[in-house]
Amino acid sequence: QLAAGEMSEGRYAKAESRLEELAARDPANVTARCRLADARIAQGDYPAARQTLREALAVARGRGRAPVIWRMAGLERRSGNHDRAMAYYREYTEMTAPAGRTVEQMALTLKEAGKHGEAESLLRDWIQERPSSLIGLRSLARLLDETGRKHEADEMWSTILEIRPHDEEAATAASQR
């Protein structure tokens, strides 16, 4: 818990030191290794974070692997390894219930890889199954805006405002038209 407090206060090096000790004392503690990786990512030490997550994967079992896989996906995305990130996100979706946050991160990864069409298809499929998904609608609206398809984006922003009338981002987008 001390490490969590240090992380929230931005004292990543202190948290890292504390978490290294915990991981050394309890090598099977996947949570400690995940948080250690988080501290290393926050400090920009991606190689050390990647190694820590690999160690966590070696001891994690079953669904306990999901938080490690999620972090691996995010780390690969930050590192610009979009194909590896997508592979980890897909593995993550096989272990967990469908979630808008996962679809959002997958779409961002595809977009960063220059695969706007795939990102759009992913989001549209998600929205088709969950028409009131604010995460899906917002992600699609942003993508459409960024690709110059303002009219289609406006439709998404309007739908968001129908679902959530006081949505700040949608209201701002609508007022700028």
- What is the per-residue pLDDT for 175? 87
pTM of the model: 0.90
Q: What is the CA radius of gyration of the chain?
A: 19
- What is the per-residue pLDDT for 116? 97
- What is the per-residue pLDDT for 50? 97
pLDDT tens track for 47-60: 999 999 999 999 99
pLDDT for residue 1 is more than 80:
no
- Measure the CA–CA gap between 69 and 164, rounded to whole angstroms: 32
- Measure the CA–CA gap between 177 and 162, rounded to whole angstroms: 17
- What is the per-residue pLDDT for 90? 97
In the three-class reduction of DSSP (H, G, I as helix; E, B as strand; rest coil), residue 131 is classed as coil
- What is the per-residue pLDDT for 129? 96
pLDDT tens track for 6-49: 988 999 999 999 999 999 999 999 999 999 999 999 999 999 99
- What is the per-residue pLDDT for 4? 85
- What is the per-residue pLDDT for 3? 87
pLDDT tens track for 106-165: 999 999 999 999 999 999 999 999 999 999 999 999 999 999 999 999 999 999 999 999
Q: What are phi and psi of 18, to 5 degrees?
A: -65, -40
Q: Count of CB atoms within 10 A of residue 44's CB?
A: 10
- Measure the CA–CA gap between 135 and 80, rounded to whole angstroms: 23
